[in-house]
Structure 1
Amino acid sequence: MPFATVLMAESEHTVNELVMPSFMFGVVALAIFLILGFATFAYRDVANRHSHKTGSAQTAHAYDTPESEQK
């Protein structure tokens, strides 16, 4: 017999118990991703909620174009 097989047969088998059933790790990960998804969704369209604060400010994309110079 190969030496590695002999060593594996002679070694003790140690079982480390998990803190919870294995499928619960997936459930916990899913719950965390859902919470993070809801937090991200909460910030949807936040910039448009306060248009009265930036409504009169000039935008950074107002370029001088030939059409605006002719007026």
Structure 2
Amino acid sequence: MTTAATLIALAAEEAEQRGNVQLETVGFGVVALVVFAALALVTLSYRNVANRHARKAEAYARTHPAPTSEGHGH
């Protein structure tokens, strides 16, 4: 049998054994949830990174003064 014939035979077999399609797609939601949770952990790991080095923060504050409320005319 060729690959195409095998795929057609498998598709015909599977069509006869239809299950609950909604349950088959739950895995996609679970995978998406895990991926987004991992991305959230990566994002949260960068919280407060600027304040880890006091010497650098002080040097930046000296060279970049705080903006005044009248600076932009808003």
Q: What's the TM-score once normalised by structure 1's chain length?
A: 0.52
Alignment of 1:40 onto 2:57: no
**Aligned-partner residue type, residue 52 of structure 1:** R
CA distance in 1, matches of 2:55, 2:28: 46
For the aligned residue pairs, the C-alpha RMSD in angstroms reads 2.9
Shift of 1:56: 4.0
Gaps of 5+ in 2: 1-11, 68-74
Q: 1:62 deviation in Å? A: 5.2
Find the counterpart in structure 1 of residue 70 from structure 2: none
SS of the residue aligned with 1:55? helix
Deviation at residue 30 of structure 1 after TM alignment: 0.1
TM-score by length of 2: 0.50
Bigger RCO (CA 8 Å, 6+ sep): 2
Which consecutive segments of 4 or more residues in structure 1 shift more than 6 A? Answer: none
Offset, 1:61: 2.3
Question: Larger helix proportion, structure 1 or 2?
Answer: 2
Matches within 5 A, 1:52-63: 52-57=55-60, 58-61=62-65
Aligned residues: 48
Percent of matched pairs sharing the same residue: 40
